Amino acid sequence: MATFEPISTCLSIEVHHMVCSLGVEKLDTPDLERIVTVSGEVCWEAITFYLRTSDAEEQDLDYAESVRLLGPVCKTVHLYLLSLSTRQFDDRYGLWFKWTNNTELFVEVFKAIKSSQHTAIALSLMKLTACLERALGDVFLMIGKECPFLLRDLLTSQELATLFGQSVMNVLRVFLGSPRSLNLRNILWHGFAAPAEIPPMYTSMLLLLTAGLGQILKGVQLQRNLTLLHRPCFKLTQLEELATFPDINEEAIAVAEDFIGKSDFVVEIMLPYWREGLAAYKNQRYADCTILLLPQLEMGLRKFFTTVNNCPNRLLTAESTTLYTTFDEMLAKHLDNDVKNQLPPALGDPIMEILWDLLNHQEGPRLRDHLSHGELDLKAFPREIASHVVALAVVLLHHCYRGENGVVTEDKCLRMIISSTRSYCSRFHPVGRLKQQLRHCIESLQKWDEIPKPALGQALDRPGSGRLGPAAQAAHGCLLEELVSNLINRLQTVYNKKLNPSQYLFAEAQLDLVPELLASHMRTLYCPRAGLEVVSLLRKMASQCLTVSEQITSGAASRHQQWLNKSLRSRQRQNYLRMLGSVQYLHRIFSLLTLLITVELLNAQTMSDKASSECHCYLRFLKSLLRYTENMVTYTSPDKNKWHESWDLTEKMLLKIKNFYNKWYNVTTDCAK
C-alpha cells in the first residue's frame, strides 16, 4: 500500500514565504512613540511611510516589499498590546471600536492575543476581518449607494479612499483583500492556513488599525456632518427547512472526536481547528464552532477533490495568476478545463445537495458567505446551525474513514446521522422552493371548505349569483374531465405509478394527489437551463395561485362578517353573492391548476431533450397561464371583485389548455397559431 508524506502546509511556496517569513525578517523595529501616541492615537503617517509601490505603470502597491517593511511595525504593535492589561486596553481603545458596532468582539480579540494560543488567535482574526468588512461597508454607505460584495473591491473603492484617505486604505490592502497581499482573510476563511502559520503580530496590527480607523472616522463625521448607520444583521430564518440530521448530543460529539484522528478527510496540521471547534460546541459557543469547522469542511473537501480528480497541486493556495480551489469550484459540475468533476459522483447526490443548500443556493442560508462577510449576529448564533454543521462534518469524516465502514452499524447515533442523508432532497434549489409553494397552495385551497356562508337558504339561488345553466355546466364538466385526463396521461410519462384519470375528477382528489407527486424524487443537481426556466415560470404561477386563494378566503370571511352586521350596501350584497356563487367553480379551477403546475414540474427535467421550437412553444403556453393567474389576482382582489369577468377569463384559459395539450400530443409544428 502506497504511503504519503504528511502535508506540512497548505500554503504555496510564495504565499507561505509572504505570510510566514517575509514580515518577520530581522530589521530594525521602530520606536513605539512613532506608531502610537501616549494617549493611544494611531500615527498613520508613520505607518504609511513603509508602503512601497511597484515600478509598473499603474503604480500599484509592491505588496511583498510593503509586507517586509511593515513587519517590524507589526512586531512593535504586538509587543505594545501584550504590555497592556485588559482594562488598560478597554479604557484606551474601547471608544474607538464603537464604529464597528461590536466593541466586545475586539476586546475578545485582545484577550486571545494575550493568551498566545494559536487557534484562538486565528479564530479571532477570522471574526475581526468579518466584522471589519461589515463596518467598512456601513461607512461606505455614508456617501456611496451600493456596497461592493467583495472585500477587495470595498478596499479599493473611491468612497472609502475619500473618507479615510488612499494611503490608509493601502495599508489595509497589504493585509487583506488581494491574492498578492498577505490576504489574511481569505487564507483563513477558505481553510488554507494552519493555526501556527499566521504570526500573531498581524492580528495585533489589524486590531490597532481598526481603532485607528475609528479615530479618523470621528473627525470625518464632525467635519462633514455625516451619520453612520449600521445595517441590520442577516436573519437565518430557514432553520426548520434546513433540519436534516438528528440533533447533536454528547454521543455524536464523541463520535466526531474519534473520527477526526481516523479520517483522511482531515489534514493533520489542521487538527487544532477541529478539536477546538468541537470543544466550542460542547461549551455552547455555537458561532465559534461554526467559524472553526466551516473552513475545515472546505479544506477536507479540497483534499478529497484533489484525490478523486487527480490534481494534487490544487490542494495549495493559488498565486494571483491561478484560481483558488474553493467551495464554488469544488461543487461545480466541471473543472475549469471543462473536464467532468469527479467529486459529485464520489460523494453522491444527497451529500452534494446538502452542501449546495447550506452554502450556495441563493434562497438558502449561504452560511459561509454571510458569516465571512460579517452579516450575522455572533452573539445570537443559532445552535441548530452549529448542530447541522457538526453533523455534516461527521458524514464527511465517515465518508473518508480509514477504518472499517461497518462502524456505522455498531453505533446507533452515527447510524442515525448517516441514514438521514440518504433520501435528502434539496430544500433551497428552485425545484425545492416550488415544492414548498405548492404545499402552501394545497393548505390554502383546503381551507375553502371552511368559508362561511349566509344562513339564508335561498341566498345563493338568487338571480345573478351564478353564471352557468344546466347545458353549459354539463359542457364545462366534460371539458374539465378532458383536462384531468390529459394531465394524468402527461404525468404517466414521468411517473412510474399507474393512475386512473377517473379517480381524480374532483378537486379534493387532485389536492390529495399533489403531495404524493411532490414526494417523488427529482434530481436537482445541475439542472439544465431550460428546466430552470420552466421552474421559474411555474414558481411565479404558484405564487399567483396562492394569492388568489388567500384573497378569496380572507375576502369571503370579511364580507360574511359585514353580512352578519348588516353593513353591506345593496350592490355589495349582490357582489358578495356572486363571489359565493363562484367559490365552488374557482376551487375546482385552482385545484386543477395546482395539479397542472405539479405535473409540469415533474416534466421540467425532460426539457433538455426537446427541440428548440418545442421549448419555445411550451414556454409561450406557460407564460399565457401566468398572465391568467396574474389577471385573476387582480379580478379577485377586494377592490375589484370582478367575478363575472373571472368566469369569462377562466373559460378562455381552459380552452387554451385543452388546445395546447391536444397539439402537444399530436404534432407541435403548428404551435404558433
Give per-residue pLDDT as tens, 225-253: 999 999 999 999 888 888 889 888 888 89
What's the pLDDT score for residue 665? 64
What CA–CA distance (Å, rounded) separates 16 from 206? Answer: 19
Q: 203 and 113 in contact (C-beta within 8 Å)?
A: yes
Kindly state the cell numbers that stand for 562.
Answer: 359585514
Structural domain spans, the chain? 13-224, 239-419, 430-665
Read off the pLDDT of each residue in 126-133 and give the average, rounded to a whole number.
98
Q: Which of 100-104, 320-324, 355-359 is the least confident region?
A: 320-324
What's the pLDDT score for residue 1? 34
Read off the pLDDT of each residue in 378-385 and give the average, rounded to a whole number.
95
Confidence of residue 313 (pLDDT cuts 50, 70, 90): confident
What CA–CA distance (Å, rounded) separates 369 from 663? Answer: 47
Give per-residue pLDDT as tens, 583-615: 888 999 999 999 999 999 999 888 766 667 788
The pLDDT mean for the chain works out to 90
Residue 258 has pLDDT above 70, yes or no: yes
How many CB atoms lie under 10 A from the CB of residue 69?
Answer: 19
Read off the pLDDT of each residue in 64-81 and give the average, rounded to a whole number.
96
Give which of 91, 89, 54, 46 is closest to 70, Cα–Cα. 46
**pTM of the predicted structure, to 2 decimals:** 0.90
Residue 442 has pLDDT above 90, yes or no: yes
Give which of 431, 420, 609, 462 is closest to 535, Cα–Cα. 431
What is the number of alpha carbons within 13 Å of residue 588 lying toward its C-beta? 19
Q: 511 and 446 in contact (C-beta within 8 Å)?
A: yes
What CA–CA distance (Å, rounded) separates 118 from 632? Answer: 62
Residue 459 has pLDDT above 60, yes or no: no
> Which of the 8 DSSP states describes residue 17?
I
Q: 592 and 480 in contact (C-beta within 8 Å)?
A: yes
Beta bridge partners, 263, equal: 401
Percentage of the chain beyond pLDDT 70 is 92
Residue 406 has pLDDT above 80, yes or no: no
Residue 464 has pLDDT above 70, yes or no: no
